[in-house]
Amino acid sequence: MIKHLITYLTCVASLAVFVSLPAAQEPKRKFLVGFSQCNNSEPWRQAMNAAAKTEAAKHKDIELVFSDAAQDSAKQVADVENFLTQKIDLLIISPNEAKPLTKVVKKVFDAGIPVVVLDRSIEGESYTCFIGADNTEIGKAAGEWIAKTLNGKGKIVELKGLMGSTPTHHRSKGFRDAIAKFKDIEIVHEAEAKWLRDEARTQFEHALAANNKIDLVYAHNDPMAIGAYLAAKAAGREKEMLFVGIDALPGKDGGAQAVIDGKLAVTFLYPNCGKEAVETALKILNKEKFERKIQLQTATVTKENAADFANPEKKK
Ligand code: FRU
């Protein structure tokens, strides 16, 4: 009797395990998407993550998992490897630097997992889709604005982003090509400030010490332009020169507000791609048609239109 009871209880228990297993193992969502961010501490990247989260929340099929490489390319490689072991269905990545990330992105792509690359590129073409704005065009627009505003004459400092990241080269080339024909425009100092405000502040202190006249600072993003502004202000020289940036992030600490406040003379919109990344990921995963290269629009943001960019919700 006891033996029968034990056999009966064992059967019931194993049946319960059998019945409950599929539910416990089922993924929360249909698609698991790894989002490899290169540096969460930059405001523009926080805006990108927020836009991606907002878009993903509208769709019940997709779950985003984020990683932050904290501006360390080796860490970002490890983050992507970790996503592979988590068996992601798709990778979204904004690579810190092109060369060090190329191999691991290719590994994911070659494994048949779609890859959406955002804003900064890798080497080669081993990805499913690239989303970003044309950084050479932005650099050119900045160069043309600068040449016009300086009446073709002046001393400029160029503060560059991380040398290993593609926008640095494109923003520099577009700018330099645009000012090339103006023989009286001179780049008196250039430095790599790695996209970071505090690094730009330090680098610009060196520029100030070495040059008793600077007419304009062209920084590859707004945080670096603000870093230069703070260094100039501390030296009592901020009125001597104009500050030009890129990003035009909304909000009270964004570049558009810095234009309204008179710290920056102009900035150029660099859309953050977060919403488009999730939209495109869903199209790819649902086997719908998508464009392989998506180019987002830029805009010139001056005192005249900065309010629209500082508070885009109000404009709608
Ligand atoms: C943030 C950022 C932006 C810049 C972009 C270029 O990490 O530095 O400010 O526009 O990256 O990739």
Question: Is residue 272 within 6 Å of ligand 1 at its C-beta?
Answer: no
pLDDT digits (tens, 9 = 90+) for 189-237: 999 999 999 999 999 999 999 999 999 999 999 999 999 999 999 999 9
| 39 within domain boundaries | yes
In 3D, which of 121, 87, 86 has the Cα closest to residue 101? 121
Tell me the mean pLDDT in the region 22-46: 83
The pLDDT, as a whole number, for residue 25 is 52
Question: Is residue 165 within 6 Å of ligand 1 at its C-beta?
Answer: yes
Domain count, the chain: 2
pLDDT at 35 > cutoff 80: yes
Give the range of the structural domain holding residue 216, as residue numbers without chain letter: 135-270
Which long-range contacts link 231-237 to residues 24+ away (Cβ below 8 Å)? 231/200, 231/201, 231/202, 231/204, 231/205, 232/204, 232/208, 235/205, 235/208, 237/208
pLDDT at 8 > cutoff 80: no
The pLDDT, as a whole number, for residue 26 is 53
Q: Are residues 92 and 196 in the same domain?
A: no
Q: Are residues 84 and 171 in the same domain?
A: no
Q: Are residues 147 and 216 in the same domain?
A: yes
| 302 within domain boundaries | no
pLDDT at 67 > cutoff 60: yes
| 12 within domain boundaries | no
Question: Is residue 268 within 6 Å of ligand 1 at its C-beta?
Answer: no
Token duo for residue 1: 């009797």
Q: Are residues 198 and 99 in the same domain?
A: no
Tell me the mean pLDDT in the region 268-276: 97
For residue 39, report the distance from its CA to the centre of ligand 1, in Å: 9
Token duo for residue 86: 């988590």
Task: Read off the CATH number of the domain in which 73 is found.
Answer: 3.40.50.2300
pLDDT digits (tens, 9 = 90+) for 124-152: 999 999 999 999 999 999 999 999 999 99
**HSE of 6, CA atoms in CB hemisphere, 13 A:** 3
Q: Which atom of ligand 1 is nearest to the CA of 94?
A: 12
| 315 within domain boundaries | no
pLDDT at 6 > cutoff 50: no
> What is the side-by-side strand order in the sheet with 62-68?
62-68, 31-37, 90-93, 115-118, 129-133, 293-296
The pLDDT, as a whole number, for residue 312 is 79
Beta carbons of 115 and 108 less than 8 angstroms apart: yes
Question: Is residue 246 within 6 Å of ligand 1 at its C-beta?
Answer: yes
Q: Are residues 128 and 139 in the same domain?
A: no
| 163 within domain boundaries | yes
Q: Are residues 179 and 73 in the same domain?
A: no
